[in-house]
């Protein structure tokens, strides 16, 4: 038996097989796709997901750099890496569902629930709208989730945490039990503290320090 760093059992595969584009047959034999953190960092550099300049963030803050994770989550290799990392963060005690604020969390949610199904650890997904629809059921939360179910909020980039806090508010108003937040990258600008003050824990696959950025110097 071979174990990776977090104790997950893995089955060795031939080096000629590309695990960033796994086939259903491969995932049936290899239950856990191990997260390759360095590959994600390298891909973000390759796709120029990190840009420097003068930017206004969604939080309203001014910044000298911008992280565009859509270049990763809308890339087949990138979204596979992200999904593997988020399933790794979820661990063995899976929630009932994962989801987040549209539209940034949508491709992440789709990739995570697809990979969870391929690993025989099926999760449901949901979408949180910024505002409830004025037609149809008129609800802000969409998907096969039910009140009382345990969920984890997914996010691409966390700055102050405002977007995810809005998603949490909508999810809890629907009756869901939010257990935490997982992001691709944390800008280390107060988001984790904002979540902690409200009783939630943020985990991220990466932080800006992985790119040599000191958030206090921005």
In a domain, 177, yes or no: yes
For 98-115, letters b (16+ CB in 10 Å) and e give bbbbeebbbbbbbbbbbb
Q: Are 94 and 32 in contact (CB under 8 A)?
A: no
In a domain, 10, yes or no: no
In a domain, 12, yes or no: no
Helix (H) or strand (E) holding 98: strand 97-101
In a domain, 26, yes or no: no
Query: With the C-alpha atoms ordered 159, 163, 165, 168, is the resulting torsion angle positive or negative?
Result: negative
In a domain, 100, yes or no: yes
Say how many domains are in the chain.
1
CB proximity list for 147: less than 8 A, separation 6 or greater: 174, 175, 176
In a domain, 202, yes or no: yes
In a domain, 92, yes or no: yes
Q: What is the pLDDT of residue 24?
A: 52
Which CATH number characterizes residue 74's domain? 3.40.50.2020
In a domain, 14, yes or no: no
Q: For 157-198, what is each residue's pLDDT tens digit?
A: 999 999 999 999 999 999 999 999 999 999 999 999 999 999
Q: What is the pLDDT of residue 74?
A: 98
| Gap between the Cα atoms of 194 and 158, Å rounded | 11
Domain of residue 99, residue span: 31-217
Q: What is the pLDDT of residue 86?
A: 98
Q: Which residues of the chain have pLDDT under 70?
A: 1-33, 133-136, 217-218
pTM of the predicted model, to two decimals? Answer: 0.83
């Amino acid at each position: 038996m071979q174990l990776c760093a977090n104790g997950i059992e893995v089955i060795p595969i031939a080096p000629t097989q590309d695990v960033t584009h796994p086939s259903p047959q491969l995932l049936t034999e290899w239950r856990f796709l191990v997260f390759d953190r360095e590959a994600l960092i390298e891909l973000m550099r390759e796709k120029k997901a990190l840009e420097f300049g003068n930017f206004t963030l969604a939080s309203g803050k001014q910044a000298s750099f911008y992280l565009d994770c859509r270049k990763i989550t809308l890339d087949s290799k990138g979204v596979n890496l992200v999904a593997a990392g988020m399933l790794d963060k979820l661990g063995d005690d899976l929630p009932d569902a994962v989801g987040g604020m549209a539209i940034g969390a949508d491709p992440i949610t789709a990739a995570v629930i697809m990979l969870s199904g391929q690993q025989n650890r099926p999760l449901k997904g949901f979408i949180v709208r910024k505002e409830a629809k004025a037609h149809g059921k008129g609800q802000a939360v969409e998907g096969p989730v039910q009140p009382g179910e345990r969920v984890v909020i997914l996010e691409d980039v966390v700055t102050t945490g405002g977007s995810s806090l809005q998603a949490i508010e909508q999810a809890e108003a629907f009756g869901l039990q939010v257990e935490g937040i997982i992001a691709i990258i944390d800008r280390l600008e107060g988001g984790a503290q904002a979540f902690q003050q409200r009783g939630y824990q943020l985990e991220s696959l990466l932080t800006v320090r992985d790119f040599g950025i000191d958030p206090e110097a921005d």
